[in-house]
Amino acid sequence: MAGLAEAASPFGGAPAYLEGLNDEQRAAVLATEGPVLVLAGAGTGKTRALTTRLAHLLFTGKAQPYQLLAVTFTNKAAREMKERIGAIIGERVEGLQWLGTFHSIGAQILRRHAEIVGLKSPFTILDADDQARLAKQVIEAAGLDEKRWSGRGLAYAIDAWKNRGLTPDKVPANEGWKFADGKAISLYRDYQERLRTLNAADFGDLLIHNLTIFGTHPDILAQYQDRFRYMLVDEYQDTNVAQYLWLRLLAQKRRNICCVGDDDQSIYGWRGAEVENILRFEKDFPGAKVIRLERNYRSTPSILAAASGLIAANKSRLCKTLWTDQEGGELVKVRGVWDGEEEARLIGEDIESEQAKGRSLSDMAVLVRASFQMRAFEERFNTLGLSYRVVGGPRFYEREEVRDAVAYLRLVRSSDDDLAFDRIANKPARKLGGQTMQTINALARRRGASMMAASRALLESEELGAAAKGALRKFVEMVDRWTRESEHLGPRDLTELVLEESGYTDYWRNNKSAKADSKLDNLKEVVQAVSEFETLAAYLDHVALVADRNEADEAGAVWLMTLHAAKGLEFPVVFLPGWEEGVFPSQRSLDEGGAAALEEERRLAYVGITRARESCRISFAANRQMYGRWQTALASRFVDELPERDVEVVSRPGLYGKSAAGFPSHSRFDAARVDDDAYYDNPGWKRARAAAGRASPSPPMIEGSAREVSVGAGAAKFAIGARVFHQKFGYGRVVAAEGQKVTVHFDHSGDKKVVDSFLASA
DNA sequence: GCGCAGCCCATTTTT
DNA sequence: TGGGCTGCGC
SS in 3 state form for A384-438? HCCCEEECCCCCHHHCHHHHHHHHHHHHHHCCCCHHHHHHHCCCCCCCCCHHHHH
Ranges of chain A whose pLDDT falls below 70:
1-13, 178, 547-554, 651-718, 725-731, 738-762
Catalytic residue among A130, A235, A418, A675: A235
CB of A434 nearer than 7 A to strand C: no
pTM above 0.85, yes or no: no
Per-residue pLDDT, A548 = 66
Query: How wide is the angle at C-alpha A602 spanned by C-alphas A599 and A607, nearest 5°?
Result: 130
Per-residue pLDDT, A552 = 58
Per-residue pLDDT, A518 = 80
Could you say which nucleotides of strand B lie within 7 A of any protein CB atom? 1-2, 10-15
Query: What distance in Å separates the CA atoms of residue A499 and residue A494, rounded to the nearest whole number?
Result: 9
Per-residue pLDDT, A426 = 87
Residue A435 annotated to the active site: no
Name the residue closest to B1, CA to C1'.
Answer: A429
Sequence-ordered alpha helix ranges (H) in A642-699: 677-680, 683-695
Query: What distance in Å separates the CA atoms of residue A404 and residue A427, rounded to the nearest whole number?
Result: 8
- The distance (Å) linking the CA of A396 with the C1' of B7 is 30
- The distance (Å) linking the CA of A136 with the C1' of C6 is 17
Residue A46 annotated to the active site: yes
Query: What distance in Å separates the CA atoms of residue A394 and residue A347, rounded to the nearest whole number?
Result: 26
CB of A147 nearer than 7 A to strand C: yes
A579 neighbors A620 (Cβ within 8 angstroms): yes
Residue A234 annotated to the active site: yes
* A582 DSSP 8-state letter: B
Name the residue closest to C1, CA to C1'.
Answer: A628
Instruction: Find which nucleotide's C1' atom is closest to A627's CA.
Output: C1
Cβ within 7 Å of nucleic strand B, residues: A 73-76, 101, 103-104, 127-128, 203, 270-271, 369-372, 392, 395, 426, 429, 431-433, 545, 547-548, 561-562, 564-565, 586, 588-589, 592-593, 597, 601, 627-628
Give the number of other Cβ atoms within 10 Å of residue A85's Cβ: 24
* A94 DSSP 8-state letter: G
Per-residue pLDDT, A151 = 84
The phi and psi torsions of A685 (rounded to 5 degrees) equal -65, -40
Distances (CA, A) of A332 to A45, A54, A368, A613, A617: 23, 37, 17, 11, 6
A620 neighbors A337 (Cβ within 8 angstroms): yes
Sequence-ordered alpha helix ranges (H) in A173-274: 184-197, 203-216, 218-227, 241-251
A332 neighbors A646 (Cβ within 8 angstroms): yes
Distances (CA, A) of A573 to A299, A348, A374, A496: 10, 13, 17, 45
Residue A611 annotated to the active site: yes
Give the number of other Cβ atoms within 10 Å of residue A522's Cβ: 17
Residue A463 annotated to the active site: no
Per-residue pLDDT, A701 = 27
Name the residue closest to B13, CA to C1'.
Answer: A271
CB of A628 nearer than 7 A to strand C: yes
Per-residue pLDDT, A147 = 72
Query: What distance in Å separates the CA atoms of residue A651 and residue A572, rounded to the nearest whole number?
Result: 22
Catalytic residue among A47, A167, A326, A535: A47
